[in-house]
């Protein structure tokens, strides 16, 4: 059955000499993996390897079968042509990092149009802005809304946050409780939207510390989640 849907590239893996296995988050069918035969050899045809850069936003026509683990793409075209996301070194490092997060966190083969729209619109924001040092922090924090473990915002006046339970507390009662600068950054981001993100000032040290907190938060709430291999690269480009 031929299906047309929007898709965002979240991982790719070379398979053999000339093939690629690409994982996409699609608007209508959730997470889907595709086998692209001969795509690394052929310079002709409707499916080219250049389309499948990390976080590229595509419109694809796929030959869909619900009992097949690897689907086939018949046609592909860009939905959005990024102006800087793939050409700016720092943005490319962020894109690689976020694609790893999404690849690990998005497993369901079920549509979630609000989640798709969130990823689509925030990536367009990221592509268009020149001040983006805190983008990945707010992106990951807000993503937890759609994954089911967004922090409870009751008792924002409390000075401790329990990562295991996802709520603010009056005192530390769990080993996965944070305080100090990490709680200050968390509160600031909980009250921030992308429209005013450029006004949020966080030091490099605070940013790195809070990112590690976010990754632990993901590990505690997503069973098979692993720290991205590109984390070290991300730290290097921001330092």
Q: What is the pLDDT of residues 140-173, one digit of tens each?
A: 999 999 999 999 999 999 999 999 999 999 999 8
Residue 184 sits in the same domain as residue 113: yes
Residues 39 and 144 in one domain: no
Task: Decide if 83 is inside a domain.
Answer: no
Q: Are residues 53 and 109 in the same domain?
A: no
Residue that is last in its domain, among 53, 78, 103: 78
Q: Say whether both 97 and 171 belong to one domain.
A: yes
CATH number for the domain that contains residue 59: 2.40.50.140
Same-domain check for residues 67 and 117: no
Domain count of the fold of the chain: 2
pLDDT for 127-149, tens place per residue?
A: 999 999 999 999 999 999 999 99
Strand partners, 62: 3, 73
Q: Which tokens sit at 231? A: 């984390």
Domain end call among 47, 78, 109: 78
pLDDT for residue 25: 98
Residue that terminates a domain, selected from 59, 78, 97: 78
- Residue 108's pLDDT is 85
Q: Are residues 172 and 113 in the same domain?
A: yes
What does the pLDDT look like over 69-112, one tens digit per residue? Answer: 999 999 999 999 999 999 999 999 999 999 999 999 998 888 99
pLDDT value at 113 more than 80:
yes
Quick one: 96 and 174 in the same domain?
A: yes
CA distances from residue 78 to 140, 143, 208, 238 in whole angstroms, order as listed: 25, 24, 33, 29
Query: Does residue 23 sit in the same domain as residue 56?
Result: yes
212 and 142 in one domain? yes
Q: Are residues 74 and 149 in the same domain?
A: no
- In the chain, the DSSP E strands lie at 2-15, 19-26, 30-36, 57-63, 72-78, 160-162, 167-169, 177-178
116 and 206, same domain (yes or no): yes
Residue 215: the pLDDT is 97
CATH number for position 116: 1.20.1440.120
- pTM of the predicted structure, to 2 decimals: 0.95
Kindly compute the dihedral angle of the four CA atoms of residues 136, 15, 7, 62, in this order, to the nearest 10 degrees.
-170
Using CA atoms, how far apart are residues 15 and 239, in angstroms rounded to an integer?
34
84 located within any domain: no
Residues 114 and 203 in one domain: yes
Domain with 186 in it: 89-238
Q: What's residue 41's pLDDT?
A: 86
């Amino acid at each position: 059955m031929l299906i047309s849907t929007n898709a965002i590239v979240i991982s790719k893996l070379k398979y053999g000499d000339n093939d690629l296995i690409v994982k996409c988050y699609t608007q209508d069918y959730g997470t889907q993996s595709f086998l692209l035969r001969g795509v690394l050899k052929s310079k002709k045809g409707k499916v080219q390897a250049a389309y499948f850069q990390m976080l590229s936003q595509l419109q694809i026509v796929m030959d869909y079968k619900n009992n097949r683990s690897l689907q086939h793409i018949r046609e592909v075209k860009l939905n959005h042509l990024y102006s800087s996301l793939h050409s700016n070194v720092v943005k490319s490092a962020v894109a690689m990092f976020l694609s790893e997060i999404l690849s690990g966190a998005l497993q369901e083969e079920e549509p979630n149009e609000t989640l798709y729209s969130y990823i689509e619109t925030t990536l367009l924001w990221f592509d268009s802005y020149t001040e983006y040092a805190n983008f990945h922090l707010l992106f990951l924090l807000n993503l937890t809304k759609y994954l089911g473990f967004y922090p409870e915002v009751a008792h924002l006046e409390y000075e401790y946050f329990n990562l295991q339970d996802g709520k603010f507390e009056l005192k530390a009662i769990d080993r996965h409780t944070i305080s100090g600068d990490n709680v200050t950054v968390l509160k600031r981001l909980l009250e921030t939207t992308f429209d005013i993100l450029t006004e949020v000032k966080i030091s490099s040290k605070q940013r790195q510390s809070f990112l590690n907190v976010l990754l632990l938060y993901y590990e505690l709430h997503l069973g098979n989640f692993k720290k991205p291999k590109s984390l070290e690269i991300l730290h290097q480009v921001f330092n």
